[in-house]
A = this chain, B = another copy of it.
Amino acid sequence: MPYFDAASAAPLHPVAREALLASLDEGWADPARLYREGRRARLLLDAAREAAAEAVGCRPDELVFTPSGTRAVHTGVAGALAARRRAGRRLLHSAVEHSSVLHAAEVHTAAGGSCAELPVDRTGRVAAGDVAAALGPDTALVCLQSANHEVGTAQPVEEVAALCQEAGVPLLVDAAQSLPWGPVPGGWSLLAASAHKWGGPPGVGLLAVRKGTRFAPQGPGDERESGRSPGFENIPAVVAAAASLRALRTGPETADEAARLRRLVDRIRTRVPELIPDVEVVGDPVHRLPHLVTFSCLYVDGEALLHELDRAGFSVSSGSSCTSSTLTPSHVLRAMGVLSEGNVRVSLPYGTPEAEVERFLEVLPETVRSVRERLGVPVAGRETAAESQAATAAAEPAGLVVDSLGKRCPLPVIELAKAIQEVPVGGTVTVLADDEAARQDIPAWCTMRDQEYVGERAAGRGVAYVVRRRA
Which residue numbers of A lie inside 8 Å of B, CB to CB?
1, 3, 5, 8-12, 17, 20-21, 24-25, 28-30, 33-38, 67-71, 74, 78, 99-100, 103-104, 106-107, 194, 196, 201-203, 205, 219-223, 230-237, 303, 306-307, 309-310, 314-317, 323, 325
When A8-B29, A107-B219, A223-B325 are in contact, do A230 and B71 touch as well, CB less than 8 Å? yes
Q: Enumerate 11 A-B pairs (CB-CB under 8 Å) in ascending A order.
A: A9-B232, A11-B28, A12-B28, A20-B24, A21-B21, A29-B315, A68-B231, A100-B220, A100-B222, A106-B220, A203-B237
B203, B231, B314, B323: the one contacting A34 at CB < 8 Å is B323
Contacts of A104 in B (CB 8 A): 220
Determine if A202 and B235 form an interchain contact, defined as CB atoms under 8 angstroms apart.
Answer: yes
When A222-B100, A236-B202 are in contact, do A230 and B29 touch as well, CB less than 8 Å? no
Contacts of A10 in B (CB 8 A): 28
When A1-B36, A306-B34, A310-B36 are in contact, do A233 and B103 touch as well, CB less than 8 Å? no
Shortest beta-carbon contacts, A-B, top 8: A68-B231, A67-B67, A203-B234, A35-B315, A103-B220, A70-B231, A8-B30, A203-B203
A5-B33, A74-B219, A202-B232 are known contacts; what are 12 more A-B pairs with Cβ within 8 Å?
A8-B33, A9-B28, A12-B28, A17-B24, A28-B196, A29-B315, A35-B316, A67-B203, A69-B232, A74-B220, A203-B237, A219-B219
Contacts of A315 in B (CB 8 A): 29, 33, 35-38
Output the residue of A17, A24, A237 with the most chain B CB within 10 A.
A24
B21, B205, B306: the one contacting A35 at CB < 8 Å is B306
Determine if A231 and B67 form an interchain contact, defined as CB atoms under 8 angstroms apart.
Answer: yes
Contacts of A303 in B (CB 8 A): 34
A202's nearest neighbour on chain B, judged by CB, is B234
B29, B69, B71: the one contacting A9 at CB < 8 Å is B29
Contacts of A21 in B (CB 8 A): 21
**Distance between Cα atoms of A20 and B100 in the complex (Å):** 27
Nearest CB of B to A120, in Å: 22
Nearest CB of B to A19, in Å: 12
Nearest CB of B to A107, in Å: 5
Contacts of A9 in B (CB 8 A): 28-30, 232
Output the residue of A11, A28, A323 with the most chain B CB within 10 A.
A28
Determine if B5 and A35 form an interchain contact, defined as CB atoms under 8 angstroms apart.
Answer: yes
A325's nearest neighbour on chain B, judged by CB, is B223
**Distance between Cα atoms of A74 and B219 in the complex (Å):** 8
Determine if A232 and B316 form an interchain contact, defined as CB atoms under 8 angstroms apart.
Answer: no
Contacts of A236 in B (CB 8 A): 201-202
Nearest CB of B to A193, in Å: 12
A326's nearest neighbour on chain B, judged by CB, is B223
Determine if B103 and A230 form an interchain contact, defined as CB atoms under 8 angstroms apart.
Answer: yes
Output the residue of A70, A221, A230, A303 with the most chain B CB within 10 A.
A230
